[in-house]
């Protein structure tokens, strides 16, 4: 049965925000867009967690979204990160992204201030009523300090343009409850859980490793879609060490930026308080990239 936002099924990539000498590297940003267009990626997700949105100023945040939309030029979808722990800020960012031409908004649960479930509901409802682009609820309690409970997501599913969930709770039970009761398009928020979540009705992934090897993530998803479970499982096992290190060596996006630097695709520059990998961690990352065949 088709889900509510089938046009976003497949591989979406959580883009890094490239920096050079402390400033956004516009040229590198455009190169990333071209790289993903050529790979056949479904959608780009700028200024999410991987895009270091917490350390971007609001003008920078809006500039990155506009630059990605412009470079995409309708060839690839753009789901812009527009969440905040202030509903007013999230409203402003989401409305601006919609006006800029983003195809959808990726809205993280309000973090740090730990709203009640009613607070979560009212926050997303306010956004859904203010814009006409599809909204993806980004549920990542490991970052936000609180889970949007499945019952709340079921209530939110009654709003027509709440259409997707980026599922990063790590709970298959929570995902199952949402998938059984709604037609929301569920996308994995953890690369290594893409195949398990698709097995219960998920429709793809918003991926970190997709910055490196979009074609391989697409191959996994395509194999599953074609009913070739053995092939999908083979890709899952091949990708797993890379997925593990991109999220396990240090906080995202530290490892992915280090990997892109090693592959000559980025300066690797981070914004404080994010700090580079230690020499030991970098050596382990180099080994993983070599074992995968990337170095």
Cis peptide before 101 (omega within 30 of 0): no
Question: Using one digit for the tens of pLDDT, what is the confidence trace for 206-261?
Answer: 999 999 999 999 999 999 999 999 999 999 999 999 999 998 999 999 999 999 99
Calpha distance 189→175 (Å, rounded): 11
Question: Using one digit for the tens of pLDDT, what is the confidence trace for 108-131?
Answer: 999 999 999 999 999 999 999 999
Query: Which pLDDT belongs to residue 230?
Result: 98
Give yes or no: 166 in active site.
Answer: yes
Percent of the chain with pLDDT over 70: 100
Query: Which pLDDT belongs to residue 181?
Result: 98
Q: Is the pLDDT of residue 71 over 90?
A: yes
Instruction: Kindly tell me the sign of the dihedral angle through the C-alpha atoms of 170, 185, 126, 106.
Output: positive
Q: Distance of CA 105 to CAs 12, 45, 113, 117, 178, Å?
A: 13, 9, 21, 21, 20
Task: State residue 32 phi and psi, 5-degree precision.
Answer: -60, -45
Q: Which of 101, 110, 158 is nearest to 132 (CA)?
A: 101
Calpha distance 167→190 (Å, rounded): 8
Of 77, 121, 146, 166, the active-site residue reads 166
> What is the chain's length?
295
For the chain, the structural domain boundaries read 8-228
Q: Which of 269, 256, 262, 252 is nearest to 290 (CA)?
A: 262
Three-state DSSP class for residue 191: helix
Query: Which pLDDT belongs to residue 70?
Result: 98
Calpha distance 142→169 (Å, rounded): 7
Query: Which pLDDT belongs to residue 146?
Result: 98
Question: Using one digit for the tens of pLDDT, what is the confidence trace for 54-65?
Answer: 999 999 999 999
Fold topology of 8-228 = TIM Barrel (3.20.20)
Calpha distance 17→28 (Å, rounded): 9
* Residue 140: Cβ within 10 Å count: 20
Q: Which of 66, 78, 80, 77 is nearest to 108 (CA)?
A: 80
Query: Which pLDDT belongs to residue 1?
Result: 81
H helix or E strand, kind and range, residue 79:
strand 77-81
Query: Which pLDDT belongs to residue 272?
Result: 97
Query: Is residue 210 left, alpha or beta, with left meaning phi > 0 and alpha meaning psi from -120 to 50?
Result: alpha
Instruction: Output the average pLDDT for the chain.
Output: 98
Pairing of strands 204-207, 77-81: unpaired
Three-state DSSP class for residue 104: strand
Of 138, 146, 257, 292, the active-site residue reads 138
């Amino acid at each position: 049965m088709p889900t509510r936002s089938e046009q976003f099924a497949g591989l979406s990539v959580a883009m890094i925000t490239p920096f050079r000498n402390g400033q956004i590297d516009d040229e590198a940003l455009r190169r990333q867009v071209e790289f993903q267009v050529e790979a056949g990626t479904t959608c780009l997700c700028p200024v999410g967690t991987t895009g270091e949105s917490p350390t971007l100023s609001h003008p920078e945040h809006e500039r990155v979204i506009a630059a990605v939309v412009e470079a995409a030029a309708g060839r690839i979808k753009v789901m812009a990160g527009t969440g905040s722990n202030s509903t007013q800020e999230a409203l402003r960012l989401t409305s601006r992204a919609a006006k800029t031409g983003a195809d959808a908004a990726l809205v993280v649960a309000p973090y740090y201030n730990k709203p009640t479930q009613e607070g979560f509901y009212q926050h997303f409802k306010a956004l859904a009523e203010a814009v006409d682009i599809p909204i993806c609820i980004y549920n990542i309690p490991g970052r936000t300090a609180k889970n949007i409970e499945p019952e709340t997501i079921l209530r939110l599913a009654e709003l027509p343009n709440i259409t997707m969930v980026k599922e990063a709770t790590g709970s298959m039970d929570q995902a199952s409850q949402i998938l059984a009761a709604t037609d929301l398009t569920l996308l994995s928020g953890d690369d290594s859980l893409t195949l398990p979540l698709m097995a219960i009705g998920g429709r793809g992934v918003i991926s970190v490793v997709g910055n490196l090897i979009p074609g391989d993530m697409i191959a996994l998803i395509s194999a599953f879609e074609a009913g070739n479970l053995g092939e999908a499982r083979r890709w899952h096992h091949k990708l797993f060490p890379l997925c593990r290190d991109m999220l396990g060596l240090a906080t995202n996006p530290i490892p992915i930026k280090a990997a892109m630097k090693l592959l000559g695709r980025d300066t690797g520059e981070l914004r404080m308080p994010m700090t580079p990998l230690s020499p030991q961690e970098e050596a382990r990352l180099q080994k993983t990239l070599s074992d995968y065949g990337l170095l």
